[in-house]
Amino acid sequence: MNDVSEVGPLHEAGATELYCGLMRPEVQKKYTNVFSLNSRHVGEANLAGFEPLRKVIGAAHDRGMKVFVTYNAIYPAEQFDTVVEELESTLETGPDGLIVADIPLISYLHERHPEVRLVISTFGGAFNSHTARLYQSMGASRVTLPRHLTLDEIKTVSDAVPGAGFEVFVMSERCYFPNSLCRFEHASYRVKGGLVSTATNVLRSLLGRRMSFVSGSYNNRLINAVQDRMVSNSGMMCCREYEADLLDAAGGVVESGLPFRFFNTWNNFREACGLCALYDIAAMENVVSVKIVGRQSLTSRKVADTGMVGMALDLLESKPSREEFEKEMKVLRKEYYPHYCGPEYCYYSRPGMDKK
Amino acid sequence: MIDLDRKLFIENIGELPGGDSGFTGVYAGSAFCQEALPSRGAFEQLVKEAASRGLSFTFVTPYLTDTYFDHAFALAELLATISKGAEVTANDLGFLVRVAGEIPDLVPVAGRALAGQRTDPQIPAILEAAFSSGGQADMAGAFGHVSVNKPGFADFMLERGVRRLEIQNTKQAVSIGSSDFSYSMHSPYVFVSSTRFCPPVESYVRPGRVAGVYPCSRHCVNRYHRIKPRGSEQEFLYRGNTIYYENPVVEPPEGVDRLVVHRLPS
């Protein structure tokens, strides 16, 4: 979440925990978006200072909700002292835990602040139970698993490490590349020249948090189509359109000029949904939370996503069959996102889904 | 170029170099794909043949799910019995720690995925665009950062007996900051991103494709793609599940004592 005004609506929608990041103007000016202290490189995805954070925490605690603050980047040595200073001030605001991935930062917190709950970010790359157990030994109380594990693999990892809680992704922004292995610069299009990025930067400076109307809308085919065109030409590399040549092992061209994209469209990434997968996820004893991505999204989208997940979990209480549950989830999904339900939007897709 | 120890990254026993090749050893395995790890039989044959030719052996391992973790660990244990003192390069933190702690006859090495480098080829342009005005931190060095430059990360590795780091020749200058480690630099390919969403090669351009974790089709053994984003001159190589670009090492930074040469992106 990105503003104190969201706490109430998200609580009413069923959220029990919130997560947020900080991008203070002083720090942003010093390091630019390129060295954001968390994995969101835009202002509208973050709180602007410690006082807004304090208000969020107060409002959440009044409602019995927990707040986790994310410092989930991997920091260069040149930035580490600044991160520690920011983090110490953050802890004074009273969050319930921190989301982290940087080994020295985890060690620092475990040593200096053993009382702080540490959630390992998906940037920590815990693809297996051994890595999860390592993080547990370093003080982590929860591990966020990569988007790129299958449901069976999630069960294997989470069953193998009792005592560690696990968090899995369930809604929105299904990245093509695991965060721990992706080295594409995500802020680059903010600083490159060119009409689109310049226009985006001007809009961002004028609209501030209200930029979410563009970057965080949902179920709006017009905005999504415009965004798809924008990112296909000048956005993040995972969303761009490519021309591809197929090569043989000797480097010879087998076929040239092929159109290529990692996703079919931006929407496959943006509007991803794991509602049906909750049938399996909810049955996993050590999976303690499901993550709804999109800090920069419109409040209405976050409320819708949270509400859908809440309704799905409520339905599971009545022990439906898998078929009944999936049927209900498709109805629910189409109520909120009528244009975006299908195999290509599935967070936990399975082989053969696209052939049905 | 200064006189470096040269190793060759090989993908099958037929690529083992001869005695006059200039290579003192081989790297084998896979840095980014667990599906590409060799079978036990093929691995044993490869290790023994390398030893018979007087070549050092480095077993390269990728990020791993639990299913493949055990297979990779068993190969490492086998390597220790055949070739004591051989290296295991790990790109999975949990695997690195297990090997370092439990197989004392092998030398643990931190792989490219643990080097913490920012490898996007756009970085020189970003550096110019984002940090050229006043009032900003000097982050040129930070773009060249490697993970062990941070004392906390270096200590984590040293405490576990890891004293070598595999690094890449990024477009921006690499800043090596710790003399407690040895550094191997890979050439000519630089890894940018890797995924388990690896479709069969014939599906890359098929509309309606569903991204996901699918059974391996082994297409990358003989085929890969050269891809270029519209509106950019930067070419990438997409082999199997991983994206690279080409940037051969001409003059390695001070501190690098080994060059690892790849015939194909890997």
| pLDDT-based confidence at residue B134 (cuts at 50, 70, 90) | low
Q: Work out whether strand B107-110 and strand B242-246 pair parallel, antiparallel, or are unpaired.
A: unpaired
Residue in chain B lying closest to A157 (CA): B66
A177 against A227, higher pLDDT: A177
Of the listed ranges A3-7, A297-301, B178-182, the least confidently predicted one is A297-301
A172 residue type, one letter:
S
The secondary element (H helix, E strand) that includes residue A180 is none
Q: What is the average pLDDT across B118-122? A: 94
The string of pLDDT tens digits covering residues B72-94 is 999 999 999 999 999 999 999 99
Which of residues 185 through 214 in chain B touch A, CB cutoff 8 A?
191-197, 201, 204-205, 207-214
Place of tokens 């809308």: A217
Whether B142 sits inside 8 A of A184 (CB atoms) is: no
Each residue of B217-237: pLDDT tens digit? 888 888 999 999 987 889 999
Assess whether pLDDT exceeds 90 at residue A53: yes
What stretches of chain A adopt beta strand conformation (E)?
17-20, 66-71, 97-100, 117-120, 140-144, 165-171, 242-248, 253-260, 287-292
Give the percent of chain B with pLDDT over 70. Answer: 94
The whole-number pLDDT of residue A344 equals 87
Predicted complex ipTM exceeds 0.90:
yes
What's the CA gap between B248 and B261, in Å, rounded?
A: 9
A279's tokens: 């049938």
**Strand A66-71 versus strand B56-61 pairing type:** unpaired
Nearest to A170 by CA among A136, A145, A142: A145
What average pLDDT does the segment A91-113 reach? 98
Inform me whether the pLDDT recorded for A194 exceeds 60: no
pLDDT at site A231: 79
Chain A 265-294, residues with CB within 8 Å of chain B CB atoms? 268
Rounded Cα gap, residues A168 and A283, in angstroms: 13
The residue among A210, A275, A292 whose CA lies nearest residue A10 is A292
Quick one: tokens of A287?
Answer: 């999976």
Per-residue model confidence (pLDDT) at position A195: 58
In contact, A346 and A272? CB cutoff 8 Å: yes
State the Cα–Cα distance between residues B118 and B258, nearest whole angstrom.
21
Q: Return the number of CB contacts < 8 Å for A and B.
A: 240
Given a contact cutoff of 8 angstroms between Cβ atoms, the answer to whether A336 and A312 are in contact is no
The pLDDT assigned to A247 comes to 94
pLDDT at B175: 94
R_g over Cα of chain A: 20
Q: What is the pLDDT of residue B126?
A: 83
Regarding beta strands B236-239 and B223-229, do their DSSP bridges make them parallel or antiparallel, or are they unpaired?
A: antiparallel
Residues composing chain A: 356
d(CA A148, CA B62): 15
Closest CA to A1 of A276, A207, A305: A305
Say if CB B98 and CB A186 are below 8 A apart: no
The answer to whether A107 faces chain B, any CB pair under 8 Å, is yes
Residue A11 has pLDDT above 60, yes or no: yes
Tokens of A337: 């996102």
Interval B104-110 mean pLDDT? 98
Residue A182, pLDDT > 60, answer yes
Rounded average pLDDT over B175-202: 90
Q: Does B244 touch chain A (CB under 8 A)?
A: no
